[in-house]
Structures are given as C-alpha cells and as structure tokens.
Amino acid sequence: MTQQARFPSPYDLAPPPGAEGWKDLYPYYLTFKDKLRSEEDAKFWFCDAQHWPSPFKPFDAITVEFAVKCLGQYNTRHYLVPPANGVEYRIHNGYCYMSPVAVAPELIADRVPQFLERAGHYFQNWHSLLENWDKKVRANIADMETIHFEALPDAVPIEWIKGGVGLDNTYALTENYDRLIQLLYKTWQYHFEFLNLGYAAYLDFFGFMKSLFPSIPDQAIAKMVQGVEVDLFRPDDELKKLARLAVELGVDAALATGTVDEALAAVGQVTGGDVWLKAWKDAQDPWFNFTSGNGFYSDDKYWIEHLDLPLGYIRDYIVRVKRGETIERPTAKIAAERDRITAEYAELLDDDARAAFEGKLGLARTVFPYVENHNFYIEHWSMSVFWRKMRELGQILQQAGFWHDANDIFYLTRQEIRDVIFDYGNGWAVGAKAAGPDYWPDEIERRAAIMKALATRPPQPALNEPPAVITEPFTIMLWGITTDRINAWLGGDDREGHITGMAASPGLVEGRARVIRSASQLDEIEEGEILVAPVTAPSWAPVFGRIRAIVTDVGGMMSHAAIVCREYGLPAVTGTGTASSRIQNGQMLRVDGTTGEVTVLS
C-alpha cells in the first residue's frame, strides 16, 4: 500500500452540483457532524454498496436504519459476540457508509461464557426455534396485510355515533401508519435473530479448517456447506415449472407474444389453458412477492405488481426448454462436489480431529441455510407487502392534494409523513384547508432534483485512513473488503486489462462483457455474455441461464450473490472494486472464478 495512502474525509467530499442541501433530506443522526469531525475522521468507513448501491430517498433510509440497528443489537445485546459489537452507519452524499465497532480487548473474555450460553441455546435448539421463527414472520406479514388506509369521509359514520365509539377516522389513519412502521421494525428484529449465528457457525468452521490446513483455499471450505435447498430459490423454480408445464400442455405459443393480459387471454382460449392458468395463479402467493432488486428501495419492482417480469422469464425458459436445454439448477453435481471435497479432507484427519471436524461441519450445515432462506421472507415477501401498503397511503394523500404521484411519499422521512397525516386530519377536523398541498409539491420537486444530482456521481468506496491490515472476518467474508481490495481502490493494482477480486464461485470461462447497472437493464443481456455489475441481487437468478459468469465491484465469499452463484454452478468474481467502470460492453473477458482473476482479452 502506498505510504500514508488514505481516502478522502467525508468533510472534504463535496456533493455533486445540484445536490447542495442534501443533508436536510435525512434525520440528523444519519449524517456526519462538524462537531464530531475529529472522532469520525479517526474511523475508517466503507461504502456498503452491496446492500444499498443507490442514493436513498428520504423515506427509504428506514431500511438501513432498521437493518443495521438490529444487526448491532443482536451482536451487542442479545448474544454478546465476544470480539464484535455492531456497525456504525452514516449517509454521505446519499450513500451508506459503515464502520464496524470492535469490543475493547479487556472485555472480550467476560463475554465468552455469556455468548456460549446464549448462542449455544440457539444452536442446541435450532430446529424448534427456527420453526417458531417461521410462524412469527408469517404472522407478522399477515398483520401487515390487514392494514388498510382509507381517505377521510365527509362525516364520521353514523354507526360510530350510535355505538358510542368516541373516535374519529384520523385516529385509525395515524394508528395504522404507526403500526405499519412498528411491524417493519419487528421484521428486521426477526431478520437478525438467526443471521449472525449462521455466519458465526460458518466462521468457526472456517477458522478450524484454516488452523488444520493453512493453505486450504477459501472456496474449498465454502464448497463443504454448499448444496442447500432454500426458499429463496423457489420463485425461480416456480417459473421453470411453469415454463415446462406450458410446453407439456401445448400453450407455449399462446404465451409467446403480447402483453400479460393478452397472453393470459390467449392461453385461456386453448386446450389445457385452464390448467396452466391455475398453476400461474397458485404460484403467485407467496412466490411472486419477489423483486428484481433487493427489497431495500421503494422503487424496487415486485413480480406480484409487475407480472410482465415473471412472464418474460418464463418466455425465456420456454425457448430453452424447447431447445432441449436443462434449465434446473445443477443440484446433484453441486452436492457431489460437496461430498467429494468433504471426504478428501476428512481422510487426512486423525480420529480426534475428525470428530471435531464432523461436529463443526454438521453445525455449519445445519445453520447455514438460514443465511439465504431468510432473504425471501424478509427482503422479498415482507418488504413487498410493506412498500405496497406505503403506496396505498401515498395515493390517499395524493388524492388529498399533498403531491402529484403516490410514490412522492417516499421523498419524505417517516417522521414527516406522520406530520402530514396530522395536517391532513387537522384540516378535515376544523373544516379548513390543510397546509401541505401548498407546501409539499414544490418541496418534493426540490428534493427530487437533489436525488437526481446525487445519482450522477458514484460513491467513494471508502472514507478516511484504512487500517494497515483488514482482519475482521465478517467485513472480509460478507463485504469482500480485504487489504488487497483497499490497495486496489487506492491505485495499488492498476495493471492494464487485469482485475482481481474475490474467488467467489469456481470455473474458468470466456465471453463478451455486458455491463449492467440496474435490474431494469436485465433484458439487455444476451446469450453467452459475462455479466459485469456494481453488485447483483440473488433475485437475478432467472437470467443466470443466459450468462457464462458474473463479475461485481462489491461482495465477499459469503455475500448473497456469491452463495447463489455457487448454488447455480456459475463462475463468479466479486469485490473487484472497479470492474464495472473499467470494463466496457462488448469487450472479451476471461473470468477465473477459482483464482479471482478477470482478464480483458480485447
């Protein structure tokens, strides 16, 4: 690393032109503060573009607030993870920056027995506790579904008067909004109940294997826990089943063209169409509560609301089925590789070491599936319902004149929305005009312009002086931030045509690059290309059949994208830092997912 090399301070990093005043869009506790400069400049902050790759609309910041707060509390207050507390987070120029909080060395020893008791209870009762988790999450989603927002009527219903209710309609409006926010908060509490333990068990096994075999490749360890069957893959599997069913029933031609409504109407007119339409309808609940984004943004498109997305994937699968291709995941091949490599390393151990090996591997395999499985229930299904309910409220306030579009509600913070609800009810109550319709349209236009300006500049990968060596395992394995990555960001690896990253999923392939920056561009991908992106989402799996490999700017060995690529048998290099800006569409690439090297061939 270059001597004294460092990233810019957030205090020296000006916003792009047109984005002045961006700090006013977020709560005071989410931005860097001048009075805290000496304290905050002493910390290393990295941009979490893996989870939040775009600038936040004001309301959307709720996802980072609830997620990272809950992540921290499970480390710090629930399980007392010996070396790790939570992660501090700030928004700067619209992007999320994080700084892990270590436990003071003198406190670690006292936390060990507490962690073993607390985490040990979960490990020993994993299946029953996880079954209870499933019930809690489904009940929470059902509670969100019961929430409805209604416009204020001309008068309180006469039934309420005669029944002595003693309340007006604004009470329910405010109560339902507050309840929806609390249910989202509960969602993220549940998200982290098991997640950190899933990573912890894997990291324990990882450290054990490194102690026995210092030169063992990280991928060899990862392969020993691969071959998981989780509900995150079910939406894609449902599309594949629908594609095969369409070909078997002979309704594929009817599905081939037209809008969703036109295609479904055409299917209904042919023999066997009713069978296919029932299967299509049955698959939607819950599996179409799935986004081509990651669920963290209000403008993520969910299949259930944009049926053209799953239909487009089905059409693509139908073409491949008719060509005789295998469209299912190579589960048997992946499981065989898992068993082969596990047996090879087990054979090298004596009886005592093998017993420890089998115990730690068994625990890792038991708990690791949650790392992916929760993703469907939280980021996809729960967030699908949440965003839908918020747009319902946005539409009511749009009709009341507060803004021009239902989605304009997301330009407000969650505290401001509560004020708007009161303003709306206040005008209704006194029989006068509310203030909001004369204030919010212009203010939203100003904020939208700031958001547009923020999006013109990619984030700095990190802020302030990095540590000499990155050793924190979660930072390395989840975010892919290593000493080598930081060196590359600072210009330490500028070899022409050569890019390195995390060896995330094995395989060596060549193909033309397709640079994608958002899910809306997925339809641009052509057969046999190599997908290059700042970050991918696990939900991009329906296009994996078209591509040969994936290269991303961010993400570690245990990022969602890396795990999904391994389960689909797709070579991947993650955490390159700069691939999406250094590689151009159409360039020929060689991607080695086994070594983490990407070579531009032409």
| Domain-wise residue ranges, the chain | 10-117+458-463, 128-207+373-454, 231-331, 480-600
Q: Is 290 exposed, middle or buried (0-12, 13-18, 19+ CB in 10 A)?
A: buried
Q: Which of 129, 147, 152 is nearest to 183 (CA)?
A: 147
- In degrees, to the nearest 5, what angle opens at C-alpha 155 toward C-alphas 149 and 159? 85
- CB atoms under 10 Å from CB of 343, counted, come to 9
pLDDT for the residue 184: 98
Tokens of 90: 């700030």
Cα–Cα distance, 406 to 423 (Å, whole number): 17
pLDDT for the residue 325: 93
pLDDT tier at 3 (50, 70, 90 boundaries)? very low
Cα–Cα distance, 494 to 488 (Å, whole number): 7
pLDDT tier at 436 (50, 70, 90 boundaries)? very high
Express each pLDDT in 83-126 by its tens digit.
999 999 999 999 999 999 999 999 999 999 999 999 999 999 99
Q: Which of 228, 360, 247 is nearest to 314 (CA)?
A: 247
| Mean pLDDT of the 402-407 span | 98
pLDDT tier at 492 (50, 70, 90 boundaries)? low
Class of domain 480-600: alpha beta
| Beta bridge pairs of residue 95 | 92
Express each pLDDT in 338-361 by its tens digit.
999 999 999 999 999 999 999 999
- CB atoms under 10 Å from CB of 498, counted, come to 12
The whole model's pTM is what?
0.94
Express each pLDDT in 554-574 by its tens digit.
888 888 888 889 999 999 999
pLDDT for the residue 496: 78
Rg over alpha carbons for the chain, rounded to the nearest Å, is 25
Q: Which amino acid is at 530?
A: I
pLDDT for the residue 545: 87
What is the helix (H) or strand (E) element at residue 392, kind and residue range? helix 383-399
pLDDT for the residue 350: 95
pLDDT tier at 493 (50, 70, 90 boundaries)? low
Q: Which amino acid is at 45?
A: W
| Mean pLDDT of the 202-209 span | 94
Q: What is the 3-state secondary structure (H, E, C) of 400-462?
A: CCCCCCHHHHHHCCHHHHHHHHHHHHHHHHHCCCCCHHHHHHHHHHHHHHHHHHHCCCCCCCE
Cα–Cα distance, 309 to 287 (Å, whole number): 13
On whether the CB atoms of residues 589 and 601 are closer than 8 A, the answer is yes
Q: Which residues contact 447 (CB under 8 A, 6 or more apart)?
A: 25, 57, 58, 411
* pLDDT tops 90 at residue 541: no
Over pLDDT 70: what percentage of the chain? 99
Cα–Cα distance, 91 to 56 (Å, whole number): 9
On whether the CB atoms of residues 385 and 144 are closer than 8 A, the answer is yes
Cα–Cα distance, 200 to 81 (Å, whole number): 9
| Beta bridge pairs of residue 47 | 97
Over pLDDT 90: what percentage of the chain? 84
Share the mean pLDDT of the chain: 94
Q: Which amino acid is at 539?
A: S
pLDDT for the residue 393: 98
Cα–Cα distance, 202 to 473 (Å, whole number): 11
| Mean pLDDT of the 410-415 span | 98
Tokens of 112: 């060990």
Q: Which residues contact 41 (CB under 8 A, 6 or more apart)?
A: 9, 10, 11, 464
How many C-alpha atoms does 413 have within 13 Å on its Cβ side?
13
Higher-confidence residue of 110 and 540: namely 110
Range of weakest confidence among 20-34, 84-98, 368-382, 545-559: 545-559
Cα–Cα distance, 565 to 504 (Å, whole number): 8
pLDDT for the residue 346: 97
CA 475 to chain centre: 16
Express each pLDDT in 232-275 by its tens digit.
999 999 999 999 999 999 999 999 999 999 999 999 999 999 99
Express each pLDDT in 286-314 by its tens digit.
999 999 889 999 999 999 999 999 999 99
Cα–Cα distance, 258 to 522 (Å, whole number): 19
